[in-house]
Amino acid sequence: MPNVSRRLLPLVPVVVLAVAILSFPSLAPNPYILSSGIVVLNYAVLATAWNFVGGFTGYISLGHGALAGLGGYATGLLVTKAGMPAFVALIAAAVLVAALAVPLGMAALRVRGASFVIVSIALVLILLLVFQSWASLTGGSRGLVVPRPFPSLLRPEHHRVFFFLYGGLLALALLTWWIVDRSRFGLGLKALREDEDKASALGTPTFTYKLIVFVLSATFTALGGGLYALWFGDLDPVFQFSVLTGSYLVLMALLGGVRSLYGPLVGALVVGTALEYFKGSFGNTPLHLVATGVLLAVVVLVMPDGVLPALAAGWSRLRRTSQTSIREVTAAELRDQRTSAASAASGSARSADSAGFAGSAGSAASGAGATSPGTDAGVSERASAHERSGGGGGKPDSPGRRDQEARR
Amino acid sequence: MTLATENLRKAFGGVVAIDGATVEFQPGKVNALIGPNGSGKTTFFNCVTGMIRADSGHVRFGGHDVTRKAPHAIARAGVGRTFQLCRVFPRMTALDNVLAAVRPGGFPKALRGARNPDEIERARTWLTRLGIEHLADVEAREMSWGQQKLLELAGVLMAEPETILLDEPAGGVNPALLDRIGALVRELNSEGRTFVIVEHNMDLVMSISDHVVVFDRGRPIAAGPPSVIRTDERVLGAYLGV
């Protein structure tokens, strides 16, 4: 039974999330709350998309607002200028942004750390200028009006449909993140997050991996931005290409936990709801920015890994039943081990089959996996291998005994 | 497969770290690369493994020119390495540190689960062999320096390289571990792996090496078996100034 419950445990958040998404439109007391729910879900999609790059590679992008803006404008322009059906335009826009992300990523991912952050900010600012200046195509500062895909629907129904569409997109983003997370590709990405040079020295094609995950992230970000364009129906370069959007996404992912599947979603629920509350209660004042800054400072100081990893760490501390010592063997212990190994060897030499045993242990030592820690065979193998090497004079420490020492 | 360099040169501004080094390491043997601090040994390692790009010259492995190859391509060709300051993936468990060295293959193969039972068993085998299997589920950052050194080597071995470059394996390790590392190198060498070791601990170098190359001012000044190198006047001059 415990095994079954452990296997079913990962399904709990899936069920909770599904129930929450399916029931929220019915529970929302008015269309405004429902539209706030869409904004929060939009943040959740964008933060999860951001987490493909930020979570797996550790590259902090403040420029994801630009990718969302590109997705939004591409969708809007394909609908208004090319006359494409809304959802075909959405997919086409995501493909276009993914294609554009290849050269963007090739340029941006050549630099690391603070340099990458600056490049990502530059991307937002350049695109803001382009989309503001190119008024004949984008509408410039007047904005771009995108026709609603379901003109016959009343506003509450329109919100309801888009809430479910965002829910589906979020589920797809989470599923993709989960697949990457458990894959060899994901392990390679996590390795490069920890130490890029080391990962490369072990054979991971780090640049290719970073580029693939950047394009994946850009695609989901563009889908989020495109869906926003179809839902909201009005795009303004100042809001679409804003460094603030990227900063919010970073804050959400950090708050929830960049190394966890649901971290950005949890962060989006907290920060997105708080932003909507501040804007609703205090208008468009800088107050929400102050609150955001304070929250970011608290998160970094108190829970640098985010809420979910902090909870998981606390839970595993409670459940931990055995302790593993990392203590190394001291020189004195090594001497004792050598003495006891020597007496064990002389004892076995007195036994009738001593010569045969030594021979088999010696040959076994040349094959990986032959050593069995914690067994006399392990001790003998190590000892005979060491003797063949002629190093050290006496017998070496045995991994088996060392393990036993460490476990005490 | 033979690892060799030809007129390799690398300068950092006005500082010439490697000055036309032509070296050939003996395949299937334990080779040592020694020399005073600043003689270019680690830069040489970095150039050979593609971590930094040489200004000129060639690096050949098994007859193929790998000079302009990316580090991961050189690793996949069969050259593994450890670093002077031991490098592990600190927030990954020891087991994941070793599994990270598994060749992922192209897509969609790379999307297969990272926890393949066969690979886990192979990873645990290496951890066992290096005596740190009991730490398989411990994050690398929680391990001691010596254990991290062993873990780093386990990761390299998991990638199954033909030639292994060890940069100061004895640096900062206790005498017990030093013995263990020496024995491991001989043991792994007896299974057919070539080693190139940068090391300052002369006792270790002289006891485990078959072939020693001595570097000074970015170029080899002597090469030969330990017994010859020990008495070479150029070596004594470079090391001791006599």
Give the start-to-end residue ranges of the domains of chain A.
27-311, 335-352+386-408
User: What does the pLDDT read at residue A282?
Assistant: 81
Asked whether the beta carbons of B238 and B36 are under 8 A apart, the reply is yes
**Residues in chain B closer than 8 A to A199 (CB atoms):** 89, 100
Does A176 score more than 70 pLDDT? yes
**Residues in chain A closer than 8 A to B192 (CB atoms):** none
Instruction: Tally Cβ neighbours within 10 Å of residue B201.
Output: 18
Determine, for residues B92 and A194 on separate chains, whether the beta-carbon distance falls below 8 Å: yes
Q: Which of B97, B118, B128 to mutate to test the interface with A (most CBs of A within 10 A)?
A: B128
Average pLDDT of span A376-397 = 36
Determine, for residues B207 and A390 on separate chains, whether the beta-carbon distance falls below 8 Å: yes
Average pLDDT of span B191-215 = 94
Determine, for residues A183 and B174 on separate chains, whether the beta-carbon distance falls below 8 Å: no
Q: What percent of chain A has pLDDT over 70?
A: 78
What is the pLDDT confidence band of residue A330, given thresholds at 50, 70 and 90? low
Higher pLDDT, A322 or A217: A217
Name all domains of chain B by residue range, CATH numbers in brackets: 3-91+161-240 (3.40.50.300)
Average pLDDT of span A357-366 = 35
pLDDT tens digit sequence for A124-146: 999 999 999 999 999 999 999 99
In this structure, of A329-338, A383-392, B40-49, B138-147, the range with the lowest mean pLDDT score is A383-392
List the single residue in A with minimal CA-CA distance to B111.
A183
Does A395 score more than 70 pLDDT? no
Determine, for residues A203 and B70 on separate chains, whether the beta-carbon distance falls below 8 Å: no
What is the pLDDT confidence band of residue A331, given thresholds at 50, 70 and 90? low
Q: Which of A179, A333, A384, A389 to mutate to test the interface with B (most CBs of B within 10 A)?
A: A389
Looking at domain A27-311, does it have CATH number 1.10.3470? yes
Average pLDDT of span A360-388 = 35
In this structure, what token pair is assigned to residue A39?
Answer: 């904004």
**Residues in chain A closer than 8 A to B103 (CB atoms):** 203
Does A391 score more than 80 pLDDT? no
In this structure, what token pair is assigned to residue B121?
Answer: 């068993």
- What is the torsion angle, in degrees rounded to the nearest 10, for the CA atoms of residue B59, residue B65, residue B68 and residue B72? -90
What is the pLDDT confidence band of residue A289, given thresholds at 50, 70 and 90? confident
**Residues in chain A closer than 8 A to B122 (CB atoms):** 368-369
pLDDT tens digit sequence for B85-115: 999 999 999 999 999 999 888 888 889 888 8
Write the CA distances from A400 to A132, A386, B127, B130, integer angstroms. 69, 15, 12, 10
Neighbouring C-alpha atoms within 13 Å toward the C-beta of A34:
21
- C-alpha distance from B146 to closest chain A C-alpha (Å): 8
Does A78 score more than 60 pLDDT? yes
**Residues in chain B closer than 8 A to A187 (CB atoms):** 96, 99-100, 102, 104, 114
Of A21, A66, A57, whose CA–CA distance to A244 is shortest?
Answer: A66
> Which residues of chain B from 12 to 41 reach within 8 Å of chain A, CB to CB?
none
B188 touches chain A (CB under 8 A): no
Nearest by CB to A331, which of B80, B129, B176? B176
What is the pLDDT confidence band of residue A396, given thresholds at 50, 70 and 90? very low
Average pLDDT of span A2-18 = 83
Determine, for residues B176 and A186 on separate chains, whether the beta-carbon distance falls below 8 Å: no
In this structure, of A1-15, A84-98, A272-286, B226-240, the range with the lowest mean pLDDT score is A1-15
pLDDT tens digit sequence for B3-29: 999 999 999 999 999 999 999 999 999
B160 touches chain A (CB under 8 A): no
- C-alpha distance from A136 to closest chain B C-alpha (Å): 42
Does A298 score more than 90 pLDDT? no
B187 touches chain A (CB under 8 A): yes
Average pLDDT of span A165-185 = 97
Q: Which residue has the tokens 């592990």?
A: B88
What is the pLDDT confidence band of residue B1, given thresholds at 50, 70 and 90? confident
Q: Which residue has the tokens 């950092």?
A: B12
Does A349 score more than 90 pLDDT? no
Does A379 score more than 80 pLDDT? no
Asked whether the beta carbons of A194 and A204 are under 8 A apart, the reply is no
Phi, psi of B159, rounded to the nearest 5 degrees: -75, -5
Instruction: Tally Cβ neighbours within 10 Å of residue A381.
Output: 28
Instruction: Tally Cβ neighbours within 10 Å of residue A30.
Output: 9
What is the pLDDT confidence band of residue A59, given thresholds at 50, 70 and 90? very high
Does B240 score more than 90 pLDDT? no
Nearest by CB to A324, which of B72, B138, B175? B138
In this structure, of A253-267, A337-351, A368-382, B201-215, the range with the lowest mean pLDDT score is A368-382
In this structure, of A60-64, A111-115, A122-126, A309-313, the range with the lowest mean pLDDT score is A309-313
What is the pLDDT confidence band of residue A359, given thresholds at 50, 70 and 90? very low
Q: State the Cα–Cα distance between residues A363 and A108, nearest whole angstrom.
A: 53
Higher pLDDT, A287 or A201: A201
Of B78, B25, B22, whose CA–CA distance to B54 is shortest?
Answer: B22
Phi, psi of B233, rounded to the nearest 5 degrees: -65, -35
What is the pLDDT confidence band of residue A67, given thresholds at 50, 70 and 90? very high
Instruction: Give chain A's end-to-end CA distance (angstroms, integer).
Output: 31
Average pLDDT of span B213-240 = 88
User: What does the pLDDT read at residue A345?
Assistant: 64
User: What does the pLDDT read at residue B134?
Assistant: 93
Asked whether the beta carbons of B184 and B153 are under 8 A apart, the reply is yes
Containing B167, the helix (H) or strand (E) segment is: strand B163-167
Of A91, A96, A65, whose CA–CA distance to A230 is shortest?
Answer: A91
User: What does the pLDDT read at residue B49?
Assistant: 97
- C-alpha distance from B156 to closest chain A C-alpha (Å): 7
B225 touches chain A (CB under 8 A): no
User: What does the pLDDT read at residue A323?
Assistant: 57
Average pLDDT of span A97-120 = 94
Burial class of B169 by CB neighbour count within 10 A (0 to 12, 13 to 18, 19+): buried
Determine, for residues A391 and B179 on separate chains, whether the beta-carbon distance falls below 8 Å: yes
Average pLDDT of span A181-193 = 96
Write the CA distances from B66 to B23, B31, B117, integer angstroms. 15, 20, 34
In this structure, what token pair is assigned to residue B205?
Answer: 């170098």
List the single residue in B with minimal CA-CA distance to A327.
B144
Average pLDDT of span A97-123 = 94
pLDDT averaged over every residue in chain A = 82
List the single residue in A with minimal CA-CA distance to B91.
A194
Beta bridge partners of A43: none
Does A248 score more than 70 pLDDT? yes
> Which residues of chain B from 40 to 59 reach within 8 Å of chain A, CB to CB?
49, 51
Nearest by CB to A206, which of B72, B92, B183? B72
Q: Which residue has the tokens 């997919």?
A: A91
Nearest by CB to B125, which of A204, A369, A399? A369
In this structure, of A104-113, A218-227, A281-290, A346-355, the range with the lowest mean pLDDT score is A346-355
> Which residues of chain B from 89 to 118 reach within 8 Å of chain A, CB to CB?
89-92, 96, 99-105, 107, 109-115
- C-alpha distance from A228 to closest chain B C-alpha (Å): 30
Nearest by CB to A185, which of B92, B110, B176? B110
In this structure, of A166-180, A303-317, B46-60, B207-221, the range with the lowest mean pLDDT score is A303-317
Instruction: Give chain B's end-to-end CA distance (angstroms, integer).
Output: 37
Q: Alpha helices, DSSP H only, in A58-154?
A: 64-80, 86-108, 113-133, 135-138
Nearest by CB to A179, which of B105, B111, B146? B111
Average pLDDT of span A88-108 = 97
Determine, for residues A403 and B131 on separate chains, whether the beta-carbon distance falls below 8 Å: yes
Does A404 score more than 50 pLDDT? no
Determine, for residues A326 and B142 on separate chains, whether the beta-carbon distance falls below 8 Å: yes
What is the pLDDT confidence band of residue A182, given thresholds at 50, 70 and 90? very high
Q: Which residue has the tokens 């276009």?
A: A96
